[in-house]
Amino acid sequence: MRVIEITYKKPANLLIEALQKHCSALMAEPEIYGITTLKDIENKIWEHAKTQQGSFPRCSLDNLEVILNRTITSEWYNLLYRGEHTMISIFARPDAYADCFLELDNNRKLN
């Protein structure tokens, strides 16, 4: 998997902020955490959410929703707050297609 773009929106609460920081750490060194797909990221973030939820009792896990989409050439991970606001968004390509879209993806990063 080749990550093309990661977007973090202004955190809705302290739990979201903790998850964004954790995601940033995961994405800085994905090989250390055994991350090869966006599903791995989803699992790691959800595990972290469960452990951190006790520190933020006013922030309910029920308000979090994950949407994970995959096509042959791309993958998207979105963590939504209350089903409306995207807090973490990750766009990636499977390794098999990373070279095919290299120029397009590099242009995307520049814009």
DSSP per position, 6-21: EEEPPPSSHHHHHHHH
pLDDT above 70 coverage of the chain, percent: 97
At residue 110's C-alpha, the angle toward residues 74 and 83, to 5°, is 50
Q: Write the pLDDT tens digit of every residue in 7-28.
A: 999 998 999 999 999 999 999 9
Burial of 29 (0-12, 13-18, 19+ CB in 10 A): exposed
Whether the pLDDT of residue 97 is over 90: the answer is no
Record the pTM: 0.87
- Phi and psi at residue 71, in whole multiples of 5°? -120, -175
Q: What is the pLDDT averaged over residues 23-50?
A: 94
Burial of 88 (0-12, 13-18, 19+ CB in 10 A): buried
Whether the pLDDT of residue 109 is over 70: the answer is no
Other C-beta atoms closer than 10 Å to the C-beta of 19 total 24
pLDDT of residue 1: 84
